[in-house]
Amino acid sequence: MVFEFGPSTAPGVSGMPLYDIAVVTQFIGGGSGRPVPVDGNAFLQVRFRNASTVDPTSGKQTFTQTDIRPGLPLVREIKLIDDFERVMTWGL
């Protein structure tokens, strides 16, 4: 899995966004607090700070593929779990 980021358009933000990776048993939607289903039986959560699928200056979506099924034996689904206040969380 490769995440690529273009130059930030957010004020005061530059370079690679901060991130953390964690093993989780389920994904929780930030806005709803409800579980978000992702296909598989073992999961990684990748969270980026100061990153978003939305351009903060224009409000336009810059990445629209938010539910990816790559057809790989070890990665069944890659899903955008949350994208709020420049904290973007993906589930694998």
What are the DSSP calls for 24-51, one per residue? ESSEE-TTT-SEE--SSSSEEEEEEES-
Token digits of residue 16: 């690679």
Instruction: Say how far apart CA 13 and CA 50 lie, in whole Å.
Output: 7
Write the CA distances from 83 to 19, 55, 61, 89, integer angstroms.
14, 12, 11, 6
pLDDT digits (tens, 9 = 90+) for 25-82: 999 988 789 999 999 999 999 999 988 888 878 888 888 899 999 999 999 999 999 9
pTM (2 decimals)? 0.86
| pLDDT tens-digit readout, 69-87 | 999 999 999 999 999 988 9
